[in-house]
Homo-oligomer: A and B are copies of this chain.
Amino acid sequence: MIAILKPGVSTKQIEDLCTYIEAQHIQTHVIVGTDQTIVGLIGDTTGIDMRHLETMEQVESVQRVSEPFKKVNRKFHPDDTVIRVGDVTIGGPNSFVVMAGPCSVESEEQCMTIAAAAKAAGATIFRGGAFKPRTSPYAFQGMGKEGLDILSKVKREFGMPIISEIMDARDLDLFDDVDILQVGARNMQNFTLLKELGRTNKPILLKRGLAATIDELLMSAEYIMAGGNDQVMLCERGIRSYDKRTRNVFDVCAIPVLRELTHLPIIADPSHATGYTRFVTPVALAATAAGCDGLEVEVHHDPAHAASDGAQALLPDQFQDMMDRVALIRHAL
């Protein structure tokens, strides 16, 4: 971390600042430039509040030179995190996971139909929402516990681990049989929830917030890991932009950026990224080519009657086609 000082600060003011910083067990190092003097802070600055330092009368601005995240940081943990869920491996050089299923659990019949198709096409984890975060209070809010029970039946019937979104830490008991807990984009900085999930021993899929920076995503993962839970996956699902042709903008470059910064597995969600069925497969292929560790994709056998997000669901045939082409790309690279 470096503090850039205001023009014209006195030697006395610089000394005072250094004394103040050193009292926090951080060494200082002063560089007097032509226009600008800077103070380097040497030591573990992860606990230092940058914006706090900026309040000092001597200081013009403060910049980090090392990342504020530790446990998720590849610099300190060079090996890829590998997560095992039943027979499925997530992360590491040769794995590729596909989680597929409907946006919302609507009925046992619906889930069984979709699960059969998803499994046949090569998906290894079944997804389905029982608790749904909806922009409107008048929209379908999910089947709740009943929905989770249907997922459990799918799990037993097809031998597929299941993933479902948790919105409230008080529901943790209900998710006992769920293999992977998903944190939705709107809850990426619901720190109450993140702390509770840090205390569980279940794998977590953490989705990037609507307009979260890559660093904020990593800091949210750090929350979970700081609580003791090492099994975190990150999910790029598109970020908000000014363009309205797609639901979000899929930040494909986040995949190699995250690969460099962190050892955690990286999943792509082309369904929410694009918002339209006809764009899901191109983005799934792009994410695969960019090197993600897996995909989470919405599949529905009857999108016109889906309780939510039918507009972005793939039909089973479309999903099969996507899987075939994803396999071709993975084989090619």
Residues of A in contact with B (beta carbons under 8 Å apart)? 2, 4, 7, 29, 31-36, 38, 40-44, 46-47, 49, 51-52, 54-57, 63, 65-66, 68, 75, 133-141, 167-170, 186-187, 189-192, 195, 209-211, 213-216, 219, 222-223, 226-227, 239-246, 249-257, 260, 273-279, 282-283, 285-291, 303-304, 306, 308-313, 325, 328-329, 331-333
Total copies of the chain: 4
A276 to B261, CA, bound (A): 14
Residues in B whose Cβ lies below 8 Å from that of A47: 138-139
User: Given contacts A31-B29, A65-B38, A213-B245, is CB(A275)–CB(B329) below 8 Å?
Assistant: no
Which one of B141, B275, B289 lies within 8 Å of A289 (CB-CB)? Answer: B289
Q: Are A167 and B189 in contact (CB under 8 A)?
A: no
Contacts known (A138-B46, A243-B214, A331-B332); A51 close to B311, Cβ less than 8 A = yes
Q: Could you say which of B66, B219, B310 contacts A55, with CB atoms under 8 Å apart?
A: B310
Give the residue among A35, A52, A253 with the most B Cβ atoms within 10 A.
A253
Q: Which residues of B contact A140 (CB under 8 A)?
A: 49
A246→B253 contact, CB < 8 A: yes
CB distance from A28 to the nearest CB of B (A): 10
